[in-house]
Structure 1
């Protein structure tokens, strides 16, 4: 049985509230879970102490039993000092696509030709 420490959504429409639960990976998002180990209220301010609540000792016990936290829960655990989250970096994400690079090269070439023509005219 593959265990996950993940979020289960609660609250009403447009007012989310999440329980941090330990559940079987095959169970539905808001369905059956084994234990509630914390909560996250995204409606509160980022500096509010009740925004993220974690039961650290229970989380450590479940991780020792093989439970894997999801990325969002791992972020919360890293902020609380319970786990290390590896840094992710995608340097290619910010680069423009092929067509945009071709257009930029054409624009630079036209600017260089115009500058050259202006220098030759003088």
Structure 2
């Protein structure tokens, strides 16, 4: 059985509240879970002590058993000093898409032609 440490959403509409739970990967997000190890309330200010409550001993136990945290929970565990989260960078995400690259290439070609025409015009009166 593959285990995940993940967030299960609760709370009312537009008022999210999350439980940090240990669950089987096949169970639904808000469905059955094995153990609740904490809570996360994104509506509280970042410096509020009850924004994120986590039982570090139980989290450490489940990590040692082989439970894999989701990306958001991995951030929480890194902030708590329990886990080292590697920096992730996606250089492809920053690149413009195909049509934008075509427009940039066309603009560069037009600028090059305009520069060549300006140089030719500047040389023509000098010869006369």
- Using structure 2 for the length normalisation, give the TM-score: 0.84
Give the structure 2 partner of residue 84 of structure 1. Answer: 84
Determine if the alignment matches structure 1 residue 19 to structure 2 residue 22: no
CA distance in 2, matches of 1:15, 1:111: 57
Determine if the alignment matches structure 1 residue 108 to structure 2 residue 111: yes
Higher helix share goes to which structure? Answer: 2
Listed as ranges, the matches of 1:29-108 within 5 Å are 29-97=29-97, 98-108=101-111
SS in 2 for 1:30: coil
SS in 2 for 1:93: helix
CA distance in 1, matches of 2:109, 2:35: 60
Deviation at 1:52, TM superposition (A): 1.3
SS in 2 for 1:88: coil
Decide which structure has the larger Cα Rg and report it: 2
Cα RMSD of the aligned pairs, angstroms, is 1.9
Q: Could you tell me which runs of 5 or more consecutive residues in structure 1 were left unpaired when the two chains were aligned.
A: none
1:19-50 CA distance string (max 9 Å, x none): 00000110111011011111111111222222
1:50-85 CA distance string (max 9 Å, x none): 211111000000111111101110011111111011
Distance 1:43 1:115, change over 3 A: farther
Tell me the number of residue pairs that the alignment of Structure 1 and Structure 2 aligns.
Answer: 122
Deviation at 1:117, TM superposition (A): 5.0
Deviation at 1:88, TM superposition (A): 0.8
CA distance in 1, matches of 2:28, 2:4: 12
CA distance in 1, matches of 2:22, 2:82: 16
